[in-house]
Structure 1
């Protein structure tokens, strides 16, 4: 990645104008509104402390992301660039022709189109930043004053007059090197954008704080890693698995079969149409007599009962302060690893248990709030950052009512909920905490005593997780930490499917 610092304001303006001259989606001279919009995107990048790519890259990618269609290479246009003709043509073929066909970029542009007008510049600046970083495209560090000065000149003068003041016989050395690096990078990458950045634009976390963006990006990267590592071997079904009888009137979201037979009792909506032949003008008619004698025929449904496997998966995160810790041997914090586990398990179970009713409950225990010095922990309005992250990642399941994320006052209230769920579904519980608090509080014993649930505890005293289920502990500290985490996840899923 080539980066150059430009301190002279006039040289900074020249760098901006050279890129505007090389733009191809809207060839120069562009309208003042188009140039001003592109300079706003450049200002967002410079203010973020990242090197500014060539303005041709900023203007072309931003215009295509805004919905403008590139009409393709124009005949004879390449002769204007002299010795740099091949670089410009390779830029058109490798980047501009590929942008509308790239699935990741197409999803990102569709997400930006749903943003309010006031938020689109920041979203497009984020897209430009992540695209340049993924392609390892450098640029120039320059002052915001150079951008503001050029914007003021564009408002007062025509762009063709401004370009005429500068002589551009060929590309500068920096611009030529940046174009060459960009073309070489485009040959290597299969997708123009990582899916993590696309998801950040879709759930609007790209516009949030940097801490939230980095955390969500790390969780998504881990989810992709765990999905490749999941290879559980399902164990034999246990006797504790039950088939739960569900009444149609109570849960009509699970449709059952239609009419099963014909009977002499029913509602008027299920009356056979053939029975209307008994109606006459004179009363009482034969229809009335058959009605009083219960001799009319009706369609009959089934017994309104059906069998369905119901599961409730409960994730309890206790003493979250001790989990906000990064071990030297791990590339991520413990809480990031645990949240990525929750998202991976939910996605994996939903893909495979399609014929069962599944609900997910995520509970954070409130008694160890990190905000004690700010406000009372008993407030029901308290929210943690991790709760907001999960709500963004599990937004689709939460909207469907299949998942819920909340902060609970104490573990005792969770025990009461577990008892209620165990009366109507198969309950699987994962209790996550640190080893220090697990040994001090002995909360696992209280949870494991709840009848009718499959309880699993997970605690950490270092980079290696320890899984405890059925009074058997599993901890692999003779392998790499990330491999131990993936093996522990496979073991957990073997018990849960």
Structure 2
């Protein structure tokens, strides 16, 4: 619950006094000038602000500017001084020790200069959300802009005056309650920064609107939550496919080739340099020419061996009926389709780690509807952002296809030179769609999202599909009472199946 403002004058005093509590060794006008864009951008995100110094402190921390939590607190009420000290210990110290701070700082530094205030505002909102902070003070954007447009020296003078005067107790009480709420919320929070913050900042300039940003945050949070439930390492099952020559871009990462021996056969660029000693300046025939004609010159020979690795193709198929999964189930923090996107990201990350010795290629294929439209256009854009790192490496791609049969036919063709796994995210409970007579060599997995508790089915032939449904029905019924535990279970099951 936010703290209600009493009057515009109190809000102005609250804002000026709060700026004077920035944890800086020697607070100057320049430091205040850099914090103004962060405050305005945060106000655009939310009409209720935390203590203003928190926004400036977080912005300076992620920008790599050292804070000074041991600096003396300006002369003010004893309760406010104690609240600021508690804020130093429980908020700033926690933020400075966060393991994701470096990744967040790097992602923010890579943003264009014009987007950095928006990035700081996003971080403020995310940290407050992780802490569960709800004691923000409502501030009129027009009033805040009018106050912050004043010269920094005038703001500091007004702030120090407000901190000392007895007639500003209402504004100081609001500041005190805000700092106390920050310290209390930080003590209860599990983590203040995470993967979602760095991931979203890396993609901030590509995000189109707040809705897409929130979807990306939630998908990454779901991926984090599912990843924490997986063991650090899983044993891969034996595979029958033989190693194949790896892609050219992968060869560049390994020291293949090089000089291995000396021979009498070769090209001039590989000539042993000591053979040049037989060349003479005289116009007559020299010993070098004789040795060349007789084939006695020495050449380095290269080891032309080719590195081979097993090839793996993992395809995730997202049909148009997945729009039915845009629902939120009781006991799960996110929509069903958002958790499925987080599951996709979680599997891509973990399989890239576990199968690093193999040539991996991930494909996310979105199917067209009967009228040719792509109902999951928003999810497709989200998937492109989630897999941007792997797409840049050339190990992942996001595609569209007309029908599931087209995808199965393509998978069967790829299965001639690689092990191919196909995962269908199905919200209509139609497993029969995966029974394709020409895809016997393709490992097919169905993630059934037709109910609150998802289920996984592996299809290798018609008989095994029917048996799988019967054997898994009791397990699915048992997990109906806890949908999130069902998500945890299918994540592990899919990871084991794809290994």
- How does the TM-score come out when normalised to structure 2? 0.82
Partner of 1:130: 126
Conserved 8 A contact 1:246-1:306: yes
Question: What SS does the aligned partner of 2:398 have?
Answer: strand
Partner of 2:178: 178
Question: What SS does the aligned partner of 1:281 have?
Answer: coil
Query: Residue 386 of structure 2: which of 380, 393, 397 is its match?
Result: 393
State whether structure 2 residue 412 is matched by structure 1 residue 408: no
- Distance between the aligned counterparts of 2:398 and 2:199, measured in 1? 20
- Distance between the aligned counterparts of 1:429 and 1:490, measured in 2? 16
Question: What SS does the aligned partner of 2:315 have?
Answer: strand
- Distance between the aligned counterparts of 1:293 and 1:210, measured in 2? 77
- Distance between the aligned counterparts of 2:3 and 2:341, measured in 1? 39
**CA positional deviation for 1:11:** 2.3
Partner of 2:313: 312
Conserved 8 A contact 1:456-1:469: yes
Query: Residue 451 of structure 2: which of 462, 472, 475 is its match?
Result: 462
Gaps in structure 1 of 5+ consecutive residues: none
Question: What SS does the aligned partner of 2:439 have?
Answer: coil
Partner of 1:292: 293
**CA positional deviation for 1:40:** 4.3
Question: What SS does the aligned partner of 2:361 have?
Answer: strand
Change (3 A) 1:397 1:161: closer
- Distance between the aligned counterparts of 1:413 and 1:52, measured in 2? 53
**CA positional deviation for 1:25:** 1.9
**CA positional deviation for 1:317:** 1.4
**CA positional deviation for 1:459:** 3.2
- Distance between the aligned counterparts of 2:455 and 2:97, measured in 1? 43
- Distance between the aligned counterparts of 1:337 and 1:245, measured in 2? 36
**Bigger CA drift: 82-91 or 389-398?**
82-91
Partner of 1:421: 414
Query: Residue 106 of structure 2: which of 92, 110, 117 is its match?
Result: 110
Once the two structures are superposed, what CA deviation does each residue of 1:187-236 show, in whole Å capped at 9, x if it has no partner?
44464323322322233279643322222222222222322333586475
Change (3 A) 1:181 1:495: closer
| Aligned-pair Cα RMSD in Å | 3.5
Question: What SS does the aligned partner of 1:313 have?
Answer: strand
- Distance between the aligned counterparts of 1:223 and 1:407, measured in 2? 23
Query: Residue 142 of structure 2: which of 139, 142, 145 is its match?
Result: 145
Query: Residue 444 of structure 1: which of 434, 450, 454 is its match?
Result: 434
Partner of 2:51: 54
**Bigger CA drift: 97-106 or 156-165?**
156-165
Question: What SS does the aligned partner of 1:486 have?
Answer: helix
Conserved 8 A contact 2:456-2:493: no
Conserved 8 A contact 1:435-1:461: yes
Q: How does 1:187-206 map to 2 (within 5 A)?
A: 187-189=187-189, 191-204=191-204
Query: Residue 353 of structure 2: which of 344, 351, 357 is its match?
Result: 351
Structure 1's consecutive aligned runs of 4 or more residues displaced over 6 angstroms after TM superposition are: 247-250
Partner of 2:221: 221
Conserved 8 A contact 1:235-1:495: no
Partner of 1:262: 262
- Distance between the aligned counterparts of 2:186 and 2:320, measured in 1? 46
* Bigger share in helix: 2
- Distance between the aligned counterparts of 2:151 and 2:271, measured in 1? 77
Partner of 1:342: 344
**Bigger CA drift: 198-207 or 334-343?**
198-207
Query: Residue 423 of structure 2: which of 408, 414, 430 is its match?
Result: 430
- Distance between the aligned counterparts of 1:153 and 1:253, measured in 2? 56
Question: What SS does the aligned partner of 1:200 have?
Answer: helix
- Distance between the aligned counterparts of 2:131 and 2:206, measured in 1? 19
**CA positional deviation for 1:140:** 1.1
**CA positional deviation for 1:271:** 2.5
Question: What SS does the aligned partner of 1:261 have?
Answer: strand
Conserved 8 A contact 1:200-1:206: no
Change (3 A) 1:330 1:420: farther
**CA positional deviation for 1:79:** 6.8
- Distance between the aligned counterparts of 1:291 and 1:313, measured in 2? 54
**CA positional deviation for 1:346:** 1.4
- Distance between the aligned counterparts of 1:327 and 1:101, measured in 2? 34
Question: What SS does the aligned partner of 1:265 have?
Answer: coil
- Distance between the aligned counterparts of 2:410 and 2:56, measured in 1? 55
**CA positional deviation for 1:316:** 1.5
Once the two structures are superposed, what CA deviation does each residue of 1:376-433 show, in whole Å capped at 9, x if it has no partner?
749xxx9822222222222221111111112223345434532442233222222232
Change (3 A) 1:81 1:107: farther
- Distance between the aligned counterparts of 1:341 and 1:158, measured in 2? 49
Once the two structures are superposed, what CA deviation does each residue of 1:251-295 show, in whole Å capped at 9, x if it has no partner?
666542533433322222332333333333344333323323333
Gaps in structure 2 of 5+ consecutive residues: none
Partner of 2:75: 80
Change (3 A) 1:424 1:124: same
- Distance between the aligned counterparts of 2:96 and 2:267, measured in 1? 57
